[in-house]
Structure 1
Amino acid sequence: MKSYICAIGTANPTVCIPQMQIAGFMADALGFDAAETRKLQALYRVSGIEQRFTVLEDYNKSVGDFTFFPNTANLEPFPTVKSRMALYKQHALDLSVAAILDCLNQIPEVTLASITHLVTVSCTGMYAPGLDIEILEELLLPSTIQRTAINFMGCYAAFNGLKVADNICQSNPKAKVLIVCTEICTIHFQKHKEPDHLVSNALFGDGAAAVLMQARPTESTCLQIESFHCDLVPAGKKDMAWHISDFGFEMTLSSYVPEMIKKGIRQLTNNLLASLNTNFSDINLFAIHPGGRKILECIEHELGLTKHHNRYAYEILRHFGNMSSATVLFVLKAMLESLGTEHHNEPVLSFAFGPGLTLESMLTRVHYV
């Protein structure tokens, strides 16, 4: 029995800020001099990002007009975890519901009342009773829905949500599983000058994505799940990490990560395809998590891909930045929207990466009605 990704919905906050404007905010917040500011601006220019969405209007303002950060030159007292989690709770539900409605509007034959399982995914905030219960209450979903929360796994967590849904659908042919990845990354700005913090501040944006999975295809274009494969690169354990500090969640993202992904990506691909009747040369559709421009370039170099192969990832990176777990679903949606009858039965290869260093892969197949 196969399961199918039947629809993907997405949502973002209303505040959209040009990348170079965010660079100016960061330079001021970090107290950079002219030389440091030029280096920071260069980092932002080569990021491959043109704009990002955020729940924080402060990134679009100057000291004196802030509503979240203190109106002081050094932003002290710096916001605590408590204040950041309050902001997460304030916005997570609206983003999640918007993504869910965008998803289900694509498949009118699937109603809210027919949903049997809900999987929530996030690494940027948590509380209990949590987002899953709030979604049930807001959308008047049945209280008997089976709920699963996948928390704090980072940028690859959407794959774990898809795996859970795949297992549910294979064991219950009548299941309709809703997966919601909601990430509000920009509330975790850290006022550090170390290179890994400068890079993470330059990459992340806010967004949510929702997926409907079931054991049969709908009348729209679907993705049939073929297989998953996961691996670890223990040498990268300290180079990509996510920790809770007194003043928010701190991301470690060293410059070595792209090379580590490059070294492991070919074996990951070979292992995924080994048990399937698919050769790498047969694959022309790719949906890769754009963890950063350098990561995409390293994968292209190692697997012999072109920028055209990676066009969906670059498009999402350019317009949204890295939205952690939701990002690869944005990429899959962009790809799905471009497909036609000629793509029926074509394989799609997807990757995502996160703390560990974790390498996730998934092979799906286009099902076009």
Structure 2
Amino acid sequence: MNYSQMTAYIQSIGTALPPNLATQNQIADFMVSHLKLNKVEEKKLRVLYRASGIKQRYSVLKDFSENLNGQSFFKEDAFPSAKPRMLIYQEHAINLAFNACNQALKDSTCNKEDITHLIAVSCTGMYAPGLDIELIGRLGLKTTTQRTSINFMGCYAAFNAMKVSQNILGSDPKANVLIVCVELCSIHLQEKKDDENLLANAIFGDGAAAMVVSSAPAKRSLKMESFYSDLALQGRDEMGWYIGDHGFEMHLSARVPDVIKDGIAELTDHLLEKIQLEIGDIDYFAIHPGGKRILDVIEEKLLISKDQNQAARHVLNTHGNMSSPTVLFVIKSILDELKVADHNKHLLSFAFGPGLTMESAVLKTHINA
């Protein structure tokens, strides 16, 4: 099989958000109260939140945006164990995934009957029969739809899903692949006051994104041109995601941006060399906004401006880091603005996660007049 000859187009991207919107100030107030921070700890937390580059985040829980008078999911001195968190995931993840998929299907050339493969991506919850099977029923997809689940990979998992869809189309050009990434990061808040947990709790939110991938373009599409992945093993201990007695626990070191800074230029060079491009040939940037400092160091190393990286900064500001769907929110914000004159332009995208994994992709715009 000649993978270089595969043609895979992202025909559409749909997104979905839960109804509960909380500002960073509201979330900071909640954290101060529920973690019982003293004055010194409170000052440190509020400085962290102000410096995050985030204005607001979404959650399936009302805890952060409303005063629930003791009826909150996260009760003071009684944070829930893993099981209640998974029940919340099972209740709410399917609705977000369903809404994102519906939008993606509506904006594509495919009907639900045309979908041959479904890829479900998540790292914030799991159960079986899982999201993939529930979506078959809720969306009315064929029961013969081939299903793949990509779990527990973190913020870069959408790239793996795209590569799987590209391989599917390489073996069956008539296939139509529906991908959905859904994460409920907010349900895994930990009752801990160390720096790593305060940082993690300052940036993550909930959301879902779906895309339809086909061998034929839609009116406004993105062709998958090239992917390149590498591991910065010196950063293996800087980021982790583990199952604990009280939900999933994030290990997130302040050194993550430094590891990315050390490796991003070489990663980019290897990716662009595969398709004989240079950084000056890139027209759009869709960087996973894992945090404000990550965006800062990538801009510094690749000599791109904040204006060129505005799509990522806007998603970070208005949604926070939603893990795997986040980069698709960034890509969608660019895709939705493309005009006929933007045909055959190049988009460079990155995402990062445990390992320390660094994923990169070049997508090429395809606009039908």
- Helix, strand or coil at the partner of 1:2: coil
Deviation, 1:157, is 0.3
SS in 1 for 2:285: strand
CA distances 1:316-355 after superposition (whole Å, capped 9, x unpaired): 0011000000000000000111211221111110000000
Q: Quote the residue 1:4 is aligned against.
A: 9
Maintained 8 Å contact 2:11/2:212: yes
1:275 is aligned to 2:280: no
Deviation at 1:173, TM superposition (A): 0.9
- For 2:3, the equivalent position in structure 1 comes to none
Report if the CA contact (8 A) 1:225-1:364 is conserved: yes
On the 8 A contact 2:102/2:139 being kept in 1, the answer is: no
Report deviation, 1:226: 0.6
Distance 2:330 2:138 in 1: 27
- State the alpha-carbon separation in 2 of the partners of residues 295 and 32 from structure 1: 27
Q: 1:318 corresponds to which residue?
A: 317
TM-score w.r.t. length of structure 1: 0.97
Q: How far apart are the structure 2 equivalents of 1:65 and 1:44? A: 25
Structure 2 residue identity aligned to 1:154 = G
Whole-angstrom distance in 1 between the partners of 2:107 and 2:8? 18
What are the superposed Cα offsets for residues 10-53 of structure 1, whole Å, 9 maximum, x if unpaired?
00000001111101101111111122212211111110111100
User: 1:275 and 1:177 mapped to 2: Cα distance?
Assistant: 25
Give the corresponding residue for 2:138: 138
Task: Measure, in 2, the Cα distance between the counterparts of 1:23 and 1:67.
Answer: 16
Give distance in 1, aligned partners of 2:106 and 2:29: 39
Q: Does 1:23 align with 2:33?
A: no
SS at match of 1:5: strand
CA contact (8 A) 2:79 2:190 kept: no
Match in the other structure for 1:94: 95
Q: Distance in 1 between matches of 2:287 and 2:276?
A: 21
Q: Distance in 1 between matches of 2:212 and 2:283?
A: 24
TM-score (norm: length of structure 2): 0.97
The counterpart of 1:61, out of the listed 56, 63, 66, is: 66
The residue type equivalent to 2:183 in the other structure is: E
Question: What is the CA-CA distance between 1:90 and the residue it aligns to?
Answer: 0.3
Deviation at 1:65, TM superposition (A): 3.6
* Counterparts of residues 181-330 of structure 1 (less than 5 Å): 181-218=181-218, 220-330=219-329
The question of whether the paired residues in 2 share the 8 Å contact of 1:58 and 1:65 is answered with no
Once the two structures are superposed, residues 197-245 of structure 1 have per-residue CA deviations (whole angstroms, 9 ceiling, x without a partner) of 1010000000000010011112x21001111100001111111100010
Following TM superposition, by how much is the alpha carbon of 1:253 offset from its aligned partner in structure 2, in angstroms?
0.9
How many angstroms does 1:193 deviate by? 1.1
Secondary structure of 1:79 counterpart = coil
Trace 1:42-53 onto structure 2 (pairs within 5 A): 42-53=47-58
Deviations 1:123-146 (A, max 9, x none): 000000101000001112111000
How far is the alpha carbon of 1:63 from its aligned partner? 6.5
1:58-110 CA-partner distances (Å, limit 9, x unpaired): 1123463423223xxxx233201100000000001100010011111112x31
| 1:38 pairs with 2:43 | yes
Give the match for residue 346 of structure 2.
347
CA distance in structure 1 between the aligned counterparts of 2:329 and 2:8, rounded to whole angstroms: 20
SS of the residue 1:94 aligns to: helix
Query: What is the aligned partner in structure 1 of residue 359 from structure 2?
Result: 360
Q: Distance in 2 between the 1:258 and 1:244 partners?
A: 24
Is the aligned partner of 1:127 residue 2:132? Answer: no
Flag the 1:14–1:63 CA change in 2: closer, same or farther, 3 A. closer
Secondary structure of the corresponding residue to residue 225 of structure 1 = strand
C-alpha distance in structure 2 between counterparts of 1:112 and 1:198, whole Å: 42
Q: Give the match's secondary structure for 2:259.
A: helix
Calculate the aligned-residue CA RMSD, in Å.
1.0
Q: Quote the Cα distance in structure 2 between the aligned partners of 1:358 and 1:208.
A: 21
Distance 1:332 1:352 in 2: 12
Q: Give the distance between the partners of 1:67 and 1:48, measured in 2 at CA.
A: 27
Quick one: distance in 2 between partners of 1:194 and 1:284? Answer: 41
Amino acid at match of 1:78: F
After superposition, where does 1:172-187 map in structure 2 within 5 Å?
172-187=172-187
Instruction: Quote how far apart the aligned CAs of 1:358 are.
Output: 0.3
Do the aligned partners of 2:27 and 2:64 also contact (CA within 8 Å) in 1?
A: yes
Aligned 8 A contact 1:288 1:310 in 2: yes
Supply the distance in 2 between the matched residues of 1:58 and 1:128 (Cα, whole angstroms): 27
Q: Distance in 1 between matches of 2:321 and 2:199?
A: 11
The equivalent of 2:105 in structure 1 is: 104
Residue segments in structure 1 that go unaligned for 5+ positions in a row:
none
Q: Once the 2 structures are TM-superposed, how far is the Cα of residue 315 of structure 1 from its aligned partner?
A: 0.8
Aligned residues: 363
* Distance (whole Å) between structure 2 residues aligned to residue 63 and residue 313 of structure 1: 33
